Amino acid sequence: MDNRYVQQFKKGSLEMVLLCLIAKKETYGYEILTCLNENGGGIWGYAKEGTIYPILYRLQEAGLVVSRLAPSAANGGTKKYYSITEKGLQTLQELTTFWVDYSRCVDGFISQWKESLQ
Amino acid sequence: MDNRYVQQFKKGSLEMVLLCLIAKKETYGYEILTCLNENGGGIWGYAKEGTIYPILYRLQEAGLVVSRLAPSAANGGTKKYYSITEKGLQTLQELTTFWVDYSRCVDGFISQWKESLQ
DNA sequence: CGTTCTATTTAGCATTGCTAAATAGCAATA
DNA sequence: TATTGCTATTTAGCAATGCTAAATAGAACG
């Protein structure tokens, strides 16, 4: 599968996926990065730093998440932990509801095509 | 739902949807436009000319569709009919297969979040 | 000291949907 | 004839977002 399509499919849903992960538990960029690459790495085409960190900044600017610095870790640099806000939870609820309608609509177009083959 | 999210969700899948419609039957830009706005107009946030026509050009450049001009219509301007090529069908098959895996993966992240609420 | 792993930052690019307006033919109607 | 409305396409420029690529830095291990 051409990587171009992977990239475009991601747009819009990646932000929702990050919100899901942060809503599930407080986490930080590097953990999100490795999580995405372990869960469906092939499907996501492997997420990169330059993709994840800017999204985290945008989510914070939008007031959907807040961050705190972990003073020092046993190994590695300082971590910036993100957790979801009330506003973030509300947005995530709206996003996932819309995603269900949206993906169902796309599935409908695919079904119509496949039915026309018979 | 903020229109920004609608816009981003569309990216990547709109091209696949257009291919579905053209694969189902030979059609032209204006018909696609009205079709999208009738089938799930609210979900798509209403597709515009500036969105549809550039996609059709790209599909043609990529060799996924071919076009022919309808000499003259009973009413309205000249139509440019698009039909899918063998390469387009193959790409559509790959795209839809990937879409299924991809949307299932996104659904998985949503499920994991919802399960963590209990 | 060099390598590896953890962890974040950021500049610039590519893709793609949207805004907005222009162009044009034909039909109906006043 | 002039106007309005519907069909139909084109295109310039903007906005949003993922990717490329590289830089920075601490800690552990040999």
What residues of A are in contact with residue B39 (Cβ under 8 Å)? 105, 108-109
pLDDT digits over B8-17, tens only? 888 889 999 9
pTM for this predicted structure: 0.91
Q: Tell me the average pLDDT across A83-98.
A: 96
* Spacing of A12 CA from D15 C1' in Å: 14
Q: Given this model, what pLDDT does residue B53 score?
A: 97
For B115, the enclosing helix (H) or strand (E) is helix B86-116
- A64 at the B interface (CB within 8 A)? no
* Separation in Å, CA of A78 to nearest CA in chain B: 26
Say yes or no to pLDDT of B63 above 80: yes
Q: Tell me the average pLDDT across A84-112.
A: 95
Which residue type, as a one-letter code, is found at position A23?
A
Percent residues over pLDDT 90 in chain B: 71
Q: How many CB pairs under 8 A join A and B?
A: 110
Q: Sign of dihedral through CA atoms B11, B12, B13, B18?
A: positive
Say yes or no to pLDDT of B103 above 90: yes
Under a CB-based contact definition with an 8 Å cutoff, are residues B8 and A11 in contact? yes
Say yes or no to pLDDT of B89 above 70: yes
- Scored b (16 or more CB within 10 A) or e, B73-88 reads eeeeeebebbebbeeb
Q: Given this model, what pLDDT does residue A3 score?
A: 74
Mean pLDDT of all residues in chain B? 90
Q: How confident is the model at residue B44 (pLDDT cuts 50, 70, 90)?
A: confident
- What DSSP character marks residue B39? S
Instruction: Report the residue of chain A nearest B100, measured CA to CA.
Output: A107
